[in-house]
Chains A and B, each alone.
Chain A
């Protein structure tokens, strides 16, 4: 394909991304240096780096950062492990039965996150099914407090995204060369040994892919926290995203919120750059 044709084809998409992603980032950077509420939106007041020093000195910001990190650290390994195990089991059935299981397992993932969280929360309302079960088993009343809200957020995260990893690992297992397994059987390897020495190394590239996307998605968690904590500060369950949102929408410090998202962007880019370089080299080599 010629250069001119390429630019002609790609331009609508590239122009949209320039205007609506690159320009907004520049605006966010600029707004981060201003004091702005909903009242002086047309004429923000320049305050230099004050928003940034405010954010860095804000204990609620660091608390939300810590909870986001904790959430990621628990949820991402759970997705990988549970997804892989269920995919192995799903691989053991075939035909119509497999299709039915697959449809059911996918259900959480295709439901609107906000609605899925509301449904999940219904179980834990004072009259909910699991509230009752919990009280029967533990003998204590179930209450929404810091610990329980945080636990529910983590549980929901695991429940909601595991279908994604199941499907990815399952698709990977379908391409596993049968000869490798047969050769191992002849050598007398047991099932667990085969999984450990053949299957896990075989799907390791998928694991990298899943890890990348899961980490990207889990620190951005917003919808489930919004519903489960109701953004109530008493639960101390803010993530970086929900805290940025409250700062902008509830507290109306738009400049500070923009400074926060710029800091988040910088943090992400620092983590992402090695990977982007890797992808860049790969793409250059491929062409």
Chain B
């Protein structure tokens, strides 16, 4: 559209956008404030916008017993995190192979996550957090690997079978989770797999597969066909040309899809709620805070919600372009 140029018009545009900003942010800001309040402040009849912030709620959500040398441990952890983040951000400018640096950072973070409960007596919430990370990572790796193979072949094969698979996948995408989850529960209880990460990961991969292959297919269709043909003339077979030529070209699209898989796995509530009893991920763990109306649960729920949301926001802001691209990819073409 042509831009609005009049002064009053510009003001109106910004007024609307700012109002919508407030509307989008109010729950986040309020919950953030509640999470830093004492129980007494949080329950004040008149909402307090100014108050003395406390970290008590965060401490209660994460840490069971504060160690004597808390400052030293905290400082040490902060230092390691700062070092790893610094290394990650400067990886491109280092004279070493990038992959080596990323691998090192990943190993570093893994080690840190393992070391923290050895140093500090953590709450169960920490276990749920680690569990969520593991489930999400496994789901992304498996789902994207098999999804890429299928998406690529669906983009290139012109036979009837490809169309049938795509349409069936679309139908599955429309069906409610519960239709699959209740049978999973039945199978899981017969095979004694309930409450295991394995069942959750396999179920998550399956229910997200239709969406994944449709999205990846649309990205692989953008890759010109001559690319792999010229690679195959040079003597590479299908799989080699796919891995060495196509995947690097389609990489941004694969990242987009991985991002959506990340959200789907990290967000999943119903499936995890039905298939596990104690081996929860964060959404189920946090939903436990809302059951009863006891006083301090309100502030704890706020602190837990902020804790679980911040990592996702950081990841998404970093990859925002890919997310927007993914959201509009299917849409603009369809």
Chain A residues proximal to chain B, CB less than 8 Å: 1, 3, 5-7, 9-10, 12-14, 16-17, 19-21, 23-25, 27-28, 31, 41-42, 86, 88-93, 99, 101-108, 110-116, 118-123, 125-130, 132, 159, 163-164, 167-168, 170-173, 175-176, 181-182, 185, 191, 194-195, 199, 205-206, 209-210, 216, 219-220, 222-223, 226-227, 230, 241, 244-245, 248-249, 254, 257-258, 261-262, 264-265, 268-269, 272, 276, 279-280, 283-284, 287
Contacts and interface: CB of A to CB of B under 8 A. Distances in A.
Contacts of B184: 20, 24
Given A159-B23, A216-B174, A194 B186 contact: no
B324 A102 contact: yes
Given A21-B206, A105-B24, A159-B23, A249 B159 contact: no
Interface stretch (B81-89, B119-127, B298-306): B298-306
Given A31-B183, A167-B324, A16 B27 contact: no
B3 to A, nearest CB: 6
Contacts of A241: 176, 178, 270
A31 B182 contact: yes
Q: Is the interface of B mostly helix, strand, loop or mixed?
A: helix
Contacts of A248: 178, 182, 185, 274
Given A9-B150, A261-B176, A206 B331 contact: yes
B70 interface: no
A185 B313 CA distance: 42
A12 B161 CA distance: 15
B4 A92 contact: yes
A41 B267 contact: no
Given A121-B290, A181-B1, 14 more contacts: A5-B153, A6-B153, A9-B152, A10-B165, A13-B150, A23-B183, A88-B1, A111-B28, A171-B327, A171-B328, A254-B182, A261-B182, A264-B176, A265-B175
A21 B180 CA distance: 7
30 contacts: A6-B159, A7-B161, A24-B180, A24-B183, A25-B180, A27-B186, A89-B17, A92-B4, A103-B317, A105-B24, A107-B25, A110-B312, A112-B267, A115-B309, A116-B27, A119-B305, A120-B27, A123-B26, A126-B43, A167-B324, A170-B328, A181-B2, A220-B177, A248-B178, A258-B182, A264-B178, A264-B179, A265-B179, A268-B175, A283-B167
A78 B284 CA distance: 29
A252 to B, nearest CB: 12
Contacts of B99: none
Given A168-B331, A272-B174, A17 B169 contact: yes
B287 A227 contact: yes
Nearest to A113: B267
A128 B331 contact: no
B93 interface: no
Contacts, number: 314
A249 B272 CA distance: 13
A239 to B, nearest CB: 10
B197 interface: no
Contacts of A14: 150, 165
